[in-house]
Structure formats: structure tokens, C-alpha cells
């Protein structure tokens, strides 16, 4: 039996397929997931599981270099925005129009994880990164300027 981390076999397997620059979306219960998307549906009931729990567990397993959220989040759901900034403190944050989150971004996602969240603008994109010290910490390796601050 797996000792810790994400126990859901489908979610654990989907996370293992992700590489640098891949996009994973963690979305609320009402998100219109495209038919062709790799959907991992965790929703059981209202707020089960909730968005923050799922994002937190995923954050413990992935290196996230970018967080994408609807442009409405900072102004209309500031508690979610503050939580995201705290949980993903080393990531670069960007915003997109809500319609882009539901359409264009969803079509670009390699995996979409549906939660039971009833959370306004609770659709978050995570861009996968690399463990900079492990990749660029070797002797004689020149670290690109854009990663130097992460060493």
C-alpha cells in the first residue's frame, strides 16, 4: 500500500504523466470540461472534496512554476487569491478572462481535475516546473538567468 500522498489511483497516475510546461487544471463542480480532456473526477457532493484540499495535495506532489486564475479572482474572491499566493509562493501568477479559463485554457490542459467545490471562480491552472537545484545544481552547469534566483 502507498505510504502517503495522493491515494486516488487515477489522479496519482495522471500527475505522473506531467512534465515541464504541462498545464493541469483543478476546477469546481460546475466547470464545463471539454469532452476530449483527460478528466479526473473527484466530486462527491457539494464541497467534497473542496478546492483548497485538492490543490494542496497536488502542490505537495508537483513543482508548480505558474498559477493561472480568472482575472476576477483577485478582486472578487480575494481570500482564494491570498491562499493561492501563500500556497504557491514561488510561482509566477497570471490572470486570464473567465471565458478563456472555461474555453481556451481548458482545451490546452493535459489533465483537468474536477472537485466538488462550490467556489466562485474556483478554476485554477497549474503550470508544471522543474526542481531547479536538482536540474541545474551540478558542477559545471551554467544556470539560465531565469532560474538563478531559484537555486
Q: Which residues are catalytic?
A: 20
Please choose, from the candidates 21, 24, 18, 53, the residue with its C-alpha nearest in 3D space to the C-alpha of residue 40. Answer: 24
Considering only CA atoms, give the Rg of the chain. Answer: 16
SS3 assignment, position 88? coil
Tabulate helix, strand, coil % of the chain (nearest 5). 35, 20, 45
Amino acid at each position: 500500500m502507498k505510504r502517503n500522498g495522493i491515494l486516488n489511483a487515477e489522479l496519482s497516475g495522471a500527475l505522473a504523466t506531467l512534465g515541464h510546461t504541462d498545464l493541469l487544471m483543478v476546477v469546481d463542480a460546475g466547470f464545463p470540461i471539454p469532452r476530449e480532456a483527460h478528466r479526473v473526477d473527484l466530486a462527491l457532493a457539494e464541497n467534497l472534496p473542496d478546492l483548497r484540499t485538492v490543490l494542496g495535495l497536488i502542490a505537495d506532489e508537483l513543482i508548480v512554476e505558474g498559477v493561472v486564475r480568472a482575472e476576477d479572482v483577485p478582486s472578487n474572491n480575494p481570500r482564494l487569491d491570498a491562499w493561492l499566493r501563500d500556497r504557491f509562493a514561488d510561482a509566477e501568477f497570471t490572470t486570464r478572462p473567465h471565458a478563456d479559463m472555461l474555453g481556451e485554457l481548458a482545451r490546452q490542459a493535459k489533465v483537468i481535475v474536477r472537485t466538488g467545490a462550490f467556489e466562485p471562480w474556483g478554476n485554477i491552472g497549474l503550470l508544471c516546473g522543474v526542481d531547479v537545484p536538482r536540474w541545474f545544481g551540478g558542477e559545471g552547469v551554467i544556470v539560465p538567468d531565469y532560474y538563478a534566483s531559484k537555486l
